Amino acid sequence: MSSSSSSSSFGISRENLPSTKVIVSSAASIIASAVFFRSVIYELVPDSVQNYFSNLSNRLSSQLTIVIDEFDGLTANQLFESANLYLGSIVSSATRRIKVSKPPREKELSVTVDKNQQIIDFHKNVKLTWILISERIDNSPSKNATSSANLRRFEMSFYKKHKDFVLRDYFTFILKSANEMKDRVKTLKLHTVDYNGTDYWGWTALDHPATFETMAMDLETKMELMEDLDTFVRRKEYYKKVGRAWKRGYLLYGPPGTGKSSLVAAMANYLRFNVYDLDLGEVQCNSDLRRLLIGTGNRSILVIEDIDCSIGLKNRESETDDHEDEKITLSGLLNFIDGLWSSCGDERIIVFTTNHKDKLDPALLRPGRMDMHIHMSFCTFGGFKILAANYLGVEDHPLFGEIKDLLEQVKVTPAEVAGELMRKSEAKYSLSSLVDFLKSKQVVDC
């Protein structure tokens, strides 16, 4: 049966079908009428009645929308920042626009979502729909002025029944995920004293390659330190419960060249903490010391090297009025570390280094200030094997036995051993050079 006969069987012919022009005209008339009646309703129906039906519609809806503004008054909203970072990490092929930036002096690119882009996330089988809204607001009282700002917010929609799950579980997950992402990509900073800066600190990127795997130190001591650090960072609630500041103190002591500074860098790389290197010789007085300590950030390591050589740090028994002109005093340092500095931040580590532990005031060494004392010893055979693997890429060699015997007889630092291993490019020549060096040290020691 032809199409024409099929149409005619229903009493419809092509000649009777309306034209496209007529259809478009009719649709336009219907839309115009709807707009007209809507405006009439808004004019004639009281606001209270309109609000009632609007609220009724919202109550009948199964969806709930949470608004997350970029700012809470003048304070940045941490949840907005975390959501922006988290959503940038889960964009899919369906996302049509993203924003990419390169923060100053940072190594990694920052990826975030662009406005009006819908992002769908599934967390524990719950569907959550995000969209970033950006509105331009005129900040100027004058109509002729051009001052304006963008107000941004996230709107996240989901089924109402999941409200408690979102508030208690999902938002906590986002905050934690964002912090972990920032730790992974952030550029670690080495801060040094800079009196020209606004907070007395200047910084440069901390690119030290030291890790616990590359540290040539006693294996048992290394594992004990790593376990102590792991315990410290996960015990926030414990410190709060017992009423103590969330800080930890370490004393690194031993002869020069045993890797004290490298160990600090390994700790920073392990925890992803910034380092504040405080040279007490550059500090002019106790008030400047307080300002410097307040300027240190959370999740940081404050390092005071060669504490036994620091100017003005006399034993407290010897501090009298005659020492008022000293740059800083031991009492000033200890009181501030125990007092205000302890209460103005979280996850703080302080590291003192010294070549002569016996010269330190006992007040520095008590628990709560120096919780763990780590002896950085001369190079052992175990430490040598780590250095040989790092510098030469070898884990065994016929000369290892002779080197082991020599290391048990002479005292050499890991820095001295590393220096010998770097002299030659081939393992057999470097190891032979090390054997000769150890034998020469054996003669001197005898």
Per-residue model confidence as pLDDT tens digits over 58-79:
555 689 999 999 998 888 899 9
Cβ partners under 8 Å of residue 251, min gap 6: 351, 352, 353, 354, 357, 364, 365, 370, 372, 373, 374
pLDDT of residue 114: 85
Residue 396 and residue 368 share a domain? no
Asked if 96 and 164 sit in the same domain, the reply is yes
Q: Where are the beta strands (DSSP E) in 318-400?
A: 348-354, 372-375
Residue 206 is assigned to a structural domain of this protein: yes
- Confirm whether 277 is domain-assigned: yes
Please tell me the distance from the alpha carbon of residue 400 to that of residue 389, in angstroms, as a whole number. 12
Are 218 and 169 in the same domain? no
Domain membership of residue 356 (yes or no) is: yes
pLDDT in the model for residue 414: 93
- Cα angle vertex 114, ends 112, 115, to 5°? 140
Q: Considering the domain boundaries, does residue 142 fall inside one? A: no
Report angle CA 94, 96, 97 to the nearest 5 degrees.
Answer: 135
Comparing C-alpha atoms, which of 259, 221, 305, 252 is closest to residue 418? Answer: 259
- Same domain? 83 vs 211: no
| pLDDT recorded at residue 67 | 95
Q: What is the pLDDT at residue 105?
A: 62
Give the pLDDT confidence score for residue 4 in this predicted structure. Answer: 47
Of 126, 157, 185, the residue that ends a domain is 185
Please report the pLDDT score of residue 296 as a whole number: 87
Do 290 and 257 lie in a common domain?
A: yes
Q: Which domain holds residue 69?
A: 63-136+149-185
Alpha-carbon distance values, 142 to 136, 147, 262, 305 (Å): 16, 9, 59, 58
Q: Quick check: helix, strand or coil at residue 269? A: helix
Q: Are the C-beta atoms of residues 82 and 174 closer than 8 Å to each other?
A: yes
Whether residue 281 is found in the same domain as residue 420: no
Cα–Cα dist 80/152, whole Å: 9
Low-confidence stretches of the chain (pLDDT beneath 50): 1-10, 143, 145-147, 316, 319, 321, 323-325
Give how many domains the chain has, as a whole number.
3
Place of tokens 């002569």: 356
What DSSP element (H or E) covers 417? helix 414-421
